[in-house]
Structure 1
Amino acid sequence: MPDVSGGRVPAAAMAGTLTWDSAYLMEVHNLSPDCIKIVDHDGHLLSMNPNGQAAMQIDDFSTCQGSDWLGFWQGEDRAAMLGAFAQARQGRPAHFSGYCPTMKGEPRWWDVTLAPLPDPARPDAMPTLLIVSRDVTERVLAQRRLEELNATLDAEVQRQTEHLRRERQLLLQTNEELENITYAMSHDLLTPVRHLLSFARLARRLPADDTVKRERYLQIIEDSASNLGRMIEGVLHFSRAGRLELRPRPVDLNTLLREVQRDLHAEQPDHVVTWHAPDLPTVQADARALRSILKVMCANALKFTRTTPDPTVQISAHRTPGSWRIDVTDNGAGFDPEYSHKLFQLFQRLHHQNEYEGAGTGLAFVRRLVSRHGGTVCARGQKGAGATFSFTLPDTLPTD
């Protein structure tokens, strides 16, 4: 058989030396778009068809002839190649797929079939191997693009699912809050109004000289009006919290806490408390909203330690997967843990107004702002043994 290692063998040259069958096979060899190689028993490259040389970007086959074909395969596909090569050496066809760049370094992926090619004239000799490599680069790249697209679609589906979950959670929470507001309008907000009307009527009926009772009634009227004003203001703050445009950025909790402490000291200069705040982290949050959250929780801690000897308030941060948990702990009045689920609802109070002032809107306001950040709130405490109020801040805020 003529030498085909360097390129195409002309049909005219074959005519006088090959049978029709041999000429046919030679023409198939020359015209095949696949890369057809013959290697010896040890893997040294003996020949390659012209289209194969073009596919492998070989300008001069003589520079590759005799080289180690096994050495062309490196990386994670080398083991599959060696297994297939060993099988073909044992006389059985083999197949594998893998990555092998061209001689000029361009990426290529191949489906490779190996088969023993014994020499009938030397049946006892170690057979050479026929290797046919089909370029499947476009198919592999298309598959990868499809996988990337599927991954993108999966990520988008998960994002939209999470968005819908948050919307549903927000809707349920909003419905609960609307029910609370409706209840408050028909009960909590009407209570100070009734006080105003009742004691105004009583004051009008008093004798002109009964100044003591009149003064007491007027004081009740004034207190009721003040309480009503606080409750209405709390509802307005609560409503605004749902519409506040969040602008997340890194916020240093140490700096924010110092600002809150300064404000609270100015508002309550006579209440001396010991603060414990180890080095706090920088978190992702809307700075204004986080300042409001921290101020409400610290103000609550001060309020409920007012009658406690040696009052202390501790602010600590704890890392959890994907978020920070911030705890505000005090050694004050505490609460009955049986009713802890009510603490973050609008106008829900576990202490009488005469003991601790407040409209019962602060923690509901905190819950709404924390929910807007994608976080959660909780409270732990014992009556007379202090309390811990916590909220979480995810590393990444939800997007609308």
Structure 2
Amino acid sequence: MLEPGPQLLEPNPATDLLTGDVPVSDQEWRERYLTGVHNLSADCIKVVDRHGRLQSMNLRGQEAMQVDDYSACHGADWLSFWEGEARDAMLEAFAVASRGTPSQFTGFCPTMRGEPRWWDVTLTPLPDPVRPAAPYDVIVVSRDVTDRVQAQQALEALNASLAAEVARQTAALRQEKQLLVQTNEELENITYAMSHDLLTPVRHLLSFARLARQTTDTGKRDRYLGIIEGSAANLSGMIDGVMRFSRAGRCALRVQPVDLNELHADVQRELHPTAAHATWTASPLPTVPGDPQALRSVLKILCSNALKYTRNTPDPQLHVSAHHDPHARTWRIDVQDNGAGFDPDYAHKLFRLFQRLHHQNEFEGTGTGLALIRRVVTRHGGTVHATGQPGQGATFSFTLPE
């Protein structure tokens, strides 16, 4: 025969829980028990009537909400405690619970002293036995999840910061890669120039020096010596251009806010003696981050070229303008002229070292200025571009981050 197992001991409803000898009714005992559990709960437990008025709040809940005097809160509009984004979620959840279905939401609601708190809120309908068909009162259980939410926010902020840093590093690596590719290309150009372009004036020097030594005609000797002098000057200019080109890639940029209006005005004053024949206009220019001296050299070279290639134009015109691209967050600076222009099929050669689309006898130059511009602008995170038509002028553009 099986022995009876252990039995769960239930409190005697006829005995007081504290003294053990004061009889209490079953209903009173249950009310005391529920009240004890209610007040001991770490959650904020409230009863809100069907109109949203606060009917009760447990003691731990009053502490959590920093309620100094509950009598001042009793009957208050609980719905008005919620503001901002959390209010819509609260109203929807309250409407669902009022119709008899439990609901839940998470939202921000400060304490009575204004301290920030986030809550996980569960709303459960409380039926009215007298009027079962009426809208329900609601039991609201709010659990303080401030630490969890703040930790989540801190994590999201950290992730955003890390993502921004990764994006910044990626952009920096991309720019470094672009600079390396351009540097390799420039080194190839310099190597080609040293073996071809720079040898041309050297050959002229040697050839005409030999002719000058052999001739007895004074007139021819003077002409040969003039050619030698011109070739030497051209060679000197090309070497100087290579040196400036090399320095433009090695010098540290002193980046600061640069007012391009001031740079343009300074360049215009410097070039004024050579610009007396031209109509020179400009629209307002932006302030951009960059090295003032480097950007001044870019504007000077482009404006000098525009003046040079319009000198045979009956009504030479030069216009400097700026255009903002809000999506790319860049400024494009255009230097436009109505001069000699160029064949657009060869535009890709313009920004290479010693590449010229006009003969030296037409327009002097060493072919290093535009290559220098490309190097400076690229180091500033920008790009260069040129458009034109023979006899219809040209527009040289460069972009800079805003």
TM-score strictly above 0.5: yes
Q: Is 1:198 equivalent to 2:207 in the alignment? A: yes
**CA distance in 2 between partners of 1:223 and 1:15 (Å):** 125
> Contact 2:47/2:56 (CA < 8 Å) preserved in 1?
yes
1:390 is paired with a residue of what secondary structure? strand
**CA distance in 2 between partners of 1:319 and 1:34 (Å):** 56
Q: Which residue of 2 aligns with 1:155?
A: 164
TM superposition score normalised by structure 2: 0.88
- Aligned counterpart in structure 2 of residue 366 of structure 1, from 341, 354, 373: 373
Q: Which residue of 2 aligns with 1:4?
A: none
Give the C-alpha shift of residue 108 in structure 1: 1.1
- Aligned counterpart in structure 2 of residue 291 of structure 1, from 277, 288, 296: 296
**1:1-400 equivalent positions in 2, closer than 5 A:** 12=18, 16-18=24-26, 24-118=33-127, 127-207=136-216, 210-266=217-273, 268=274, 272-321=277-326, 322-395=329-402
**CA distance in 2 between partners of 1:90 and 1:163 (Å):** 58
> Contact 2:331/2:401 (CA < 8 Å) preserved in 1?
yes
**CA distance in 1 between partners of 2:285 and 2:51 (Å):** 66
**CA distance in 2 between partners of 1:108 and 1:223 (Å):** 83
**CA distance in 2 between partners of 1:176 and 1:15 (Å):** 100
1:187 is paired with a residue of what secondary structure? helix
> Contact 1:37/1:45 (CA < 8 Å) preserved in 2?
yes
**CA distance in 2 between partners of 1:122 and 1:291 (Å):** 85
- Cα distance change, pair 255–69 in 1 and its aligned pair in 2 (3 A): closer
Tell me the amino acid that sits aligned with residue 300 of structure 1. Answer: N
Tell me the amino acid that sits aligned with residue 76 of structure 1. Answer: E
> Contact 2:99/2:136 (CA < 8 Å) preserved in 1?
no
- Cα distance change, pair 92–281 in 1 and its aligned pair in 2 (3 A): closer
Give the C-alpha shift of residue 246 in structure 1: 2.1
**CA distance in 1 between partners of 2:133 and 2:331 (Å):** 75
**CA distance in 2 between partners of 1:118 and 1:310 (Å):** 92
**CA distance in 1 between partners of 2:345 and 2:160 (Å):** 46
- Cα distance change, pair 120–277 in 1 and its aligned pair in 2 (3 A): closer
- Cα distance change, pair 313–118 in 1 and its aligned pair in 2 (3 A): closer
**CA distance in 1 between partners of 2:149 and 2:128 (Å):** 36
2:18 is paired with a residue of what secondary structure? helix
Give the C-alpha shift of residue 22 in structure 1: 5.4
**CA distance in 2 between partners of 1:280 and 1:40 (Å):** 65
Tell me the amino acid that sits aligned with residue 46 of structure 2. Answer: K
Tell me the amino acid that sits aligned with residue 185 of structure 2. Answer: E
1:113 is paired with a residue of what secondary structure? strand
Give the C-alpha shift of residue 15 in structure 1: 7.6
2:332 is paired with a residue of what secondary structure? strand
User: Tell me, which stretches of 5 or more residues in structure 1 are unaligned?
Assistant: 1-9, 396-400
User: Tell me, which stretches of 5 or more residues in structure 2 are unaligned?
Assistant: 1-15
Q: Residues 58-100 of structure 1, C-alpha deviation per residue, up to 9 Å, x if partnerless?
A: 1222222222222222222222222222222222212122111
Tell me the amino acid that sits aligned with residue 159 of structure 1. Answer: R
- Cα distance change, pair 359–125 in 1 and its aligned pair in 2 (3 A): closer
Give the C-alpha shift of residue 23 in structure 1: 5.1
- Cα distance change, pair 173–133 in 1 and its aligned pair in 2 (3 A): same
Q: Residues 161-186 of structure 1, C-alpha deviation per residue, up to 9 Å, x if partnerless?
A: 11111111111111110100000010
Q: How many residues align?
A: 382
> Contact 1:15/1:23 (CA < 8 Å) preserved in 2?
no
- Cα distance change, pair 119–382 in 1 and its aligned pair in 2 (3 A): closer
**CA distance in 1 between partners of 2:284 and 2:385 (Å):** 22
Give the C-alpha shift of residue 343 in structure 1: 0.4
TM superposition score normalised by structure 1: 0.89
Give the C-alpha shift of residue 279 in structure 1: 3.7
Give the C-alpha shift of residue 125 in structure 1: 7.2
10-19 vs 336-345, greater mean Cα deviation: 10-19
User: Alpha carbon RMSD of aligned pairs, Å?
Assistant: 2.3
Give the C-alpha shift of residue 32 in structure 1: 1.1
**CA distance in 2 between partners of 1:40 and 1:254 (Å):** 68
Give the C-alpha shift of residue 312 in structure 1: 1.8
**CA distance in 2 between partners of 1:252 and 1:122 (Å):** 77
22-31 vs 347-356, greater mean Cα deviation: 22-31
2:142 is paired with a residue of what secondary structure? strand
- Cα distance change, pair 17–41 in 1 and its aligned pair in 2 (3 A): farther
- Cα distance change, pair 59–281 in 1 and its aligned pair in 2 (3 A): closer
**CA distance in 1 between partners of 2:18 and 2:73 (Å):** 27
> Contact 2:330/2:399 (CA < 8 Å) preserved in 1?
yes
Give the C-alpha shift of residue 241 in structure 1: 0.8
> Contact 1:11/1:23 (CA < 8 Å) preserved in 2?
no
**CA distance in 2 between partners of 1:255 and 1:99 (Å):** 51
